[in-house]
Amino acid sequence: MNVKIEASWKERLRKEFEKPYFENIVNHIKTEKLLKKIIYPAGVHIFNAFDTTPFDKIKALILGQDPYHQPAQAHGLCFSVQKGVPPPPSLVNIFKELKEDIGLTTPNHGDLTSWAQQGVFLLNASLTVRAGEPMSHSKIGWATFTDAVIKKISDEKEHIVFMLWGKFAQEKSIFINAEKHLVLKAAHPSPLSANNGFFGCKHFSKANEYLMNHGIAPIDWKI
């Protein structure tokens, strides 16, 4: 894989990259590409979350399930799409909650890179997906890798805000030490579930309140 990953992450994850399961991930993706399968995101974006948010800069973590599986959408940051690509329904609902929570005007694009640059680690549990086939890479080993990433953040840092939306994300709370971090849980922002507790969760203002209470600069959620 043609991957680009920031130095602090590369060093911390070196042992994971050397494990047999990670070699299996690489081989699986290489095999699918040989079979002319289209994989999202592009290779240079697979580790975009890691490359954009250095380990030492993390303030918050938002966890997605797997990348968008339609053309031009996925670029390695969960829920985010590049400028010029219409925001998918879950992202539209995130913007609705942002407006209701902290009064932000709905942006004219869906690129969340500015969040990542401020320390919001936008992690998908699976870092790749086959075109048109959601969750198609969920069983190839990515969960082992991203579970280790979540645990490493929990173990080695403190006062991180973990924003876990939906049952899938909330199951990852077993890797998080809630005594030294803030764990926020709500329904997934998907149109199928947003009315069941995502709308009104006020996670964005709660995250900033927690950060400021611990002497950490808040996130500017405007994009």
DSSP H or E segment with residue 36: none
- How does 49-73 read in b/e, with b if 16+ C-beta sit within 10 Å? bbbbbebeebbbbbbbbbbbbeeeb
DSSP strand pairing (161-165 vs 129-130)? unpaired
Distances (CA, A) of 112 to 53, 95, 119, 131, 171: 12, 11, 11, 22, 24
Distance of alpha carbon 150 from alpha carbon 172, whole angstroms: 8
The answer to whether residue 51 is catalytic is no
Catalytic position from the list 51, 56, 66, 111: 66
- Residues with catalytic roles: 66
